[in-house]
Amino acid sequence: MKAMRARRVHQRYMLYALLAFLPARLIAAAQPANQGAPEYQIKAAFLLNFTKFVEWPPSAFSSPSAPLEICILGDDPFGPALDQMVEGEAVNDHKLVVRRIHGKPSGGCQVLFAESSESELDEVLGSLGPGVLTVGDGETSLSRGVVISFVLEHRRVRFDISQRAAAKEELKLSSKLLSVARSVPN
């Protein structure tokens, strides 16, 4: 009985998702190819996308239904875009939420984004336990120890991946993610 209701609820969500998805997709397709978007809206869409291609260690979540938190350390360059995208999204029963933090996070924060100018970045990176997908901004942030780093190339947003940092965080990255990355230095 409970399972059936859950399935029905799930189907309803699927339908909502489809409704939301279809017009947007059509509109996107109807636009000329050179249509641009603001940098941090694209990055926000990437952040959301990353969550689908990463497998976290079970220890990263306090419970199977605990939310998946995308934390922004310090300044928030996304404005309302990230919140709008995350609204209503879930990955494997983990509801996605956005949290803005200052200083070391107290648990949660399965994804942590920080701008490279963030002075607290190094300190916070050093203090994180395993199970955090750290995402930085700019060429230099990979060397500072983040797992994924956004870079701009020919006016497009690309990303680099550090497999060593991913291993340290006990994250499994899908081959899809690795193949789209600009570079995956060893």
Partner 1 sequence: MYTTVRCGAYRAAVLTMLLACIGHEKGLTAAPDAVDPATSPAALKTLTLEELSQIEVTTPSRQPEQAFRSPVAIYVITGDEIRRSGVRTIPDALRLAPGVEVAQIDANKWSVGIRGFGSRLSRSVLVMIDGRTVYTELFAGTYWEVQNVMLEDVDRIEVIRGPGGTIWGPNAVNGVINIITKNSQDTQGWLASAGGGNVEQGFLNVRYGGNAGDNLTYRLYGMAFTRGPEYHQDHDNFDDWRAVQGGFRMDWRPGARDTLTVQGDIYTEAAGERVSATSYAPPYSENVDGNADLGGGNVLARWQRKFSKGDDIQVQAYYDRTSRFEPNLAEIRNTYDVDFQNHLVEPGRQDITWGLGTRVSNGEDLPVVSGLRFLPPRRNDYLVTAFFQDQFELVKDHVWLTVGTKLLRTNFTGVEPQPSVRLLWQPTSKQSLWTGFTHAVRTPSDADREFALLGYIETLPSGIPYLARFNPNANFAPEQVNGYEAGYRRFFARNLYLDLAAFYNHYHDLFSEDITGPTYLETTPLPEHYLLPAQFRNDLLGYTKGVEISPAWRPVHFWRLQGSYSFLHMNLTKAPGTPEIGTVLGIEGSSPRHQATVSSGLNLGKSFKLDLTYRFVSGLAAMNVPAYSTGDANFSWQVSRDLSFSVVGSNLLQPRHGEFAGDPGPTVEIRRNGYLSVTWTK
Binding site for partner 1 (CB under 8 A): 20-21, 24-25, 27-28, 30-39, 41-42, 44-46, 48-49, 53, 74-75, 79-82, 84-85, 89, 115-119, 137-140, 151-158, 176-177, 180
CB of 128 to partner 1, least distance (A): 20
Residue 173, CB half-sphere, CA atoms under 13 Å: how many?
Answer: 25
CB of 132 to partner 1, least distance (A): 21
Burial of residue 91 (CB within 10 Å: 0-12, 13-18, 19+) is: middle
**Complex with partner 1: residue 168 or 182, whichever CB lies closer:** 182
Q: Which residues contact 169 (CB under 8 A, 6 or more apart)?
A: 128, 130, 131, 132, 133, 134, 147
**Complex with partner 1: residue 72 or 85, whichever CB lies closer:** 85
Q: Are 61 and 109 in contact (CB under 8 A)?
A: no
CB of 87 to partner 1, least distance (A): 9
- What's the rounded Cα separation, in Å, for the pair 46 and 107? 23
**Complex with partner 1: residue 32 or 126, whichever CB lies closer:** 32
